Amino acid sequence: MVIGIQSPEIFKKEIYNQWVQLSNDIQKLKGIKAVLSSGKIFQLEKDTVAQKFVLKAIPGGLVKTDAEMDSIKNNLFNTPFFEGLVYNKQNATLMAITFDTKILNTAERNPILKQIEDKAKAFQEKTKIQVHISGLPYIRTAVSKLVSNEFVLFLGLSILVSAIILLIFFRKFYAVFFPILVVIMGVIWSIGTLVLFGFELTILTGLIPPLIVIIGIPNSILLLNKYQNELRKDGDKQRALSLTIERIAVTTLIANITAAIGFGVLYFTGSELLMQFGSVASINVMITWLMCLCLIPIIFSYLPAPTLKAQTHVEEGFLHKLLVKTDNLVQNKSSVIYIGTIIISIIAFIGVMKINVNGYVVD
């Protein structure tokens, strides 16, 4: 991990002492192995007795006089090895920090990084010099926080959007609450599968729970819509539920198997992240389908059947009119649809050709 600044004032006594103090404070933190900076550098010296080179610290630390400051500056600039490592000719200065390998790949590094960041910000406030922080430990921690926050955000938004869609279609509390509840159970299964396989929550696997919500809700919509259609015929709830399971099971099975195969193919890419995502997503798509198929009919068998009045919005509402217009367009304006599809496909193909592929070490 590195902390960098760029300022011609770094070799002013007051600023330099602040920089040295920052490196000393970081060195004292538990879990920090070593710190290398312009105020804490080393040189190789020849040991003629042992016939080997030894590493010796160059006198540094806090300076009290301008003469000491000039001596350290000259010593640093007269050692070409450090140019490009801890300083350059554009007045940029770096501080390199190494971590204890025992805590580097654990959650214990997070509070250490927070302390380093706080100390760097304090230095910035005192000196008015912009501080830049980078390095794999810092980036990984930042990415893990981002994944954690986005996991909650995407999951919440997916549930909210799904609830709104269910409400538009059925306009009943139980027709919204219970399908969402079943899908949340599928989300819990997906998290459990990650833990069972020993996978971590990454940028990709963090998308699985909201993905399960988006894929699982259509299963519920198909079941409830078919249930209401059958219920309108004779009002027999048990018969309607039985026919719903019989006729929708195969349709939803094919749709979900197709989705599961699509995700499952990612397992053969050879990329560890994609393999984890593909295997967990494909398994839980089918688990969620099975849960919807089993639990939705069971739950609605105990609930009162919706009245005919409560179902009129389905036949007379905006969605019904939209579907009628769409059907008319498909039946009578097929040439317009073909032309539109070709134009969109050409535009999409041009867009695909302009995509740039980038890879980063933290990916």
Nearest residue to 267 (alpha-carbon basis) of 249, 283, 251, 287: 283
57-80 core/surface letters (b: 16 or more CB in 10 A; e: else): eeebeebeeeebbeebbeebeeee
Q: What is the pLDDT of residues 338-353, one digit of tens each?
A: 999 999 999 999 999 9
Dist. CA 3–CA 305, nearest whole Å: 66
pLDDT in tens, 36-66: 887 777 666 777 777 777 766 666 667 788 8
Mean pLDDT for 278-285 is: 94
Q: What is the pLDDT of residues 225-271, one digit of tens each?
A: 888 888 888 778 888 889 999 888 898 999 999 999 999 999 898 88
pLDDT band at 33 (very low <50, low <70, confident <90, very high): confident
Does position 310 have pLDDT exceeding 80, yes or no?
no
SS (H, E, C) the chain: CEEEEECHHHHCHHHHHHHHHHHHHHHCCCCEEEEEECCECEEEEEECCCCEEEEEECCCCCCCCHHHHHHHHHHHHCCHHHECCCECCCCEEEEEEEECHHHHCCCCHHHHHHHHHHHHHHHHHHHCCCCEEECHHHHHHHHHHHHHHHHHHHHHHHHHHHHHHHHHHHCCHHHHHHHHHHHHHHHHHHHHHHHHCCCCCCCCHHHHHHHHHHHHHHHHHHHHHHHHHHHHHHCCHHHHHHHHHHHHHHHHHHHHHHHHHHHHHHHHHCCHHHHHHHHHHHHHHHHHHHHHHHHHHHHHHCCCCCCCHHHHHHHHCHHHHHHHHHHHHHHHCHHHHHHHHHHHHHHHHHHHHCCCCCCCCCC
What would the pLDDT profile of 197-224 be if each residue is shown by its tens digit?
998 888 788 889 999 999 999 999 889 8
147-310 placed in CATH 1.25.40.90? no
pLDDT of residue 252: 92
Pairwise CA distance, residues 212 & 106, whole Å: 29
pLDDT for the residue numbered 307: 67
The pLDDT of 183-209, averaged and rounded, is 90
> pTM above the 0.75 mark?
no
Distance CA 218, CA 170 (A): 13
Pairing verdict, β 92-99 and 32-36: antiparallel
Higher-scoring residue by pLDDT: 275, 232: 275
Examine the pLDDT at 161 and tell me if it is beyond 60.
yes
